[in-house]
Amino acid sequence: MSTDRTPRRAARLRSARRRFAAAFAAVVAALAVLAGAGAAVSLSQGPRVSDAQVDPAAAIEVAGARAILTANQALAPIDPAQVVVEPEAAHTVEAVGRAVGVRFTAPLDADTEYRVSVEGVRGVGGGPAATLETTFRTPPAEVLILERSEDGDDTIYRAGLDGERVAVVSHPEIDDFRATSDAIVVSVREGGRARLIVTDRDGGNPRDGALPGDGIIASLQVSERGGTIGYTYTDLDGATGMQSVLHLSSLRDPGADAVPVEVGDEAPSVDRWRFVPDSSALLMIDFDGELILVEPDGADPAFLGTAVTIDAVTRGTYTAVVERIDAGLVTLDLATGEETPITEADPEPGTLGFIAPLPDGDSVRRYAVLGDDGLPAAASIAHVTAEGQARELLHVAAPDVVQQVCVSPSGQYVAVLVAPDLIDNPYDMAAQPMPRTLETRIVEVDSGEQAGALRGFDISWCQVGPW
């Protein structure tokens, strides 16, 4: 029996191997068929979106947010003309491999549904064309705003346009603040001296910012892209002799030394200044009235004549709106020095006093409306198209007084700071005083409808404070 068992076992093993080989071949064949069928389906349908990434909250705060569409296969070259954004928004396109990146060159509107589509897309291996698309909705607008108190702490609130608000930062004496998409820079006074505090956007993780010495600061500003804090510093004790000298420090490393901005071998006293968006440069007016474009990296400064004030530096265009002594408000090309008169509004509501450029080439302007006696009787806030067509957004009559006008990052809203009944509205006792009662009125530019009214001032949409 033992001699017969071994051949039978061997035969069974050979048979089992043949069955396994046959089954394995069948499985491989089936997978090949399925893969071929899948490839055929893919080729017949064209590329499809396998993933889409976008941060809607960041997109309404700053320029440069991206929507990235990833396809299920490598794509043939994409022409930027194939990309459509609805509602229309300025953008650039970068495509590589399976991904198409759409970079928004200006902030998007709040509380708006956007559709990004890439039309006529083909796989790198050919096949039919398809459309890749994604939709997303941006969140409602949210701002930071400061309210001072006569008998308690001053407080920076996070607020919606409906007036609902939450306290974020409190201190006995808040002088000023500026905000980025992820940080708040707060200037406070303690014992008559300035202190700089940098927190996260929710008010957490406070750390001290660098100051040149024991003095006071003003004209606080921040550069989101450059990660830079700027302010003018005055030495109260005379140790350095600095008077309104512009200093820069790091937003990412607030404790690092602040560096004075020099022109030539001197750090001049500065009256007005602005960061130039999308660059490392800054524009300033010194105490002699000289308008100077400065590159902190050491490049030679550009002297651009004299000026009274700087209304704004327009995002993405390297142009500024400045007021000349002889020509009034003009647009100045910072690269060439070429000066262009401001387009006149039709109708002209009054005497032009301030211009806030919008990303699309339009502007929001503040006019003084004169009474029969030739004195200001009201303020008119108007939307003016690039061609000069004017439409009033808000009329503020005396004794109410407009203190400041700012626009939201996308230009969707205008914020008008109003001091009600200024004659009976005394100023507070802060180092940079403001009327005790203040209201920030929010108006939607397209519709002209008031979208909200918030108690307080220094709304985070503003690049500078209202002084």
> How far apart (Å, rounded) are the C-alpha atoms in residues 444 and 455?
18
Q: Is the pLDDT of residue 319 over 60?
A: yes
Length of the chain measured in residues: 467
Q: How confident is the model at residue 4 (pLDDT cuts 50, 70, 90)?
A: very low
Q: What is the mean pLDDT of the chain?
A: 90
End-to-end CA distance of the chain: 111
Name the DSSP letter for residue 38.
H
Report pLDDT for 418.
98
Q: 275, 171, 294: which is closest to 229 by C-alpha?
A: 275
Q: How confident is the model at residue 226 (pLDDT cuts 50, 70, 90)?
A: confident
Q: 169, 186, 111, 99: which is closest to 142 by C-alpha?
A: 111
**How confident is the model over 171-200, as pLDDT tens digits?**
999 999 999 999 999 999 999 899 999 999
Q: Contact at 8 Å (CB) between 307 and 313?
A: no
Helix (H) or strand (E) holding 177: strand 174-179
Structure tokens at 81: 């003309």
Q: Is the pLDDT of residue 11 over 80?
A: no
Q: How confident is the model at residue 19 (pLDDT cuts 50, 70, 90)?
A: low
Neighbouring C-beta atoms of residue 25, cutoff 10 Å = 10
Q: Contact at 8 Å (CB) between 120 and 83?
A: no
Amino acid at 288: D
Q: Is the pLDDT of residue 266 over 70?
A: yes
What mean pLDDT comes out for the span 91-95?
A: 96
Give the DSSP per-residue string, 122-141: EETTEEEEEEEEEEEEPPPP
pTM, to two decimals: 0.87
Residue 142: strand pairing partners? 160
Report pLDDT for 27.
44
- 259, 320, 403 from 354: Cα distances, Å: 31, 13, 11
Residue 207: strand pairing partners? 198
- Tell me the percentage of the chain whose pLDDT exceeds 90: 80
Q: How confident is the model at residue 2 (pLDDT cuts 50, 70, 90)?
A: very low
Q: Is the pLDDT of residue 344 over 90?
A: yes
- 181, 216, 304, 323, 330 from 327: Cα distances, Å: 37, 34, 14, 7, 7
Amino acid at 181: S
> How far apart (Å, rounded) are the C-alpha atoms in residues 268 and 358?
31
Q: Is the pLDDT of residue 47 over 70?
A: yes
Q: Is the pLDDT of residue 246 over 60?
A: yes
Q: How confident is the model at residue 29 (pLDDT cuts 50, 70, 90)?
A: very low
Q: How confident is the model at residue 239 (pLDDT cuts 50, 70, 90)?
A: confident
Report pLDDT for 296.
83
Q: Which residue has the higher pLDDT, 120 or 35?
A: 120
Q: Is the pLDDT of residue 1 over 70?
A: no
User: How many Å separate Cα 28 from the centre of its chain?
Assistant: 55
- 92, 277, 316, 413 from 105: Cα distances, Å: 7, 12, 8, 18
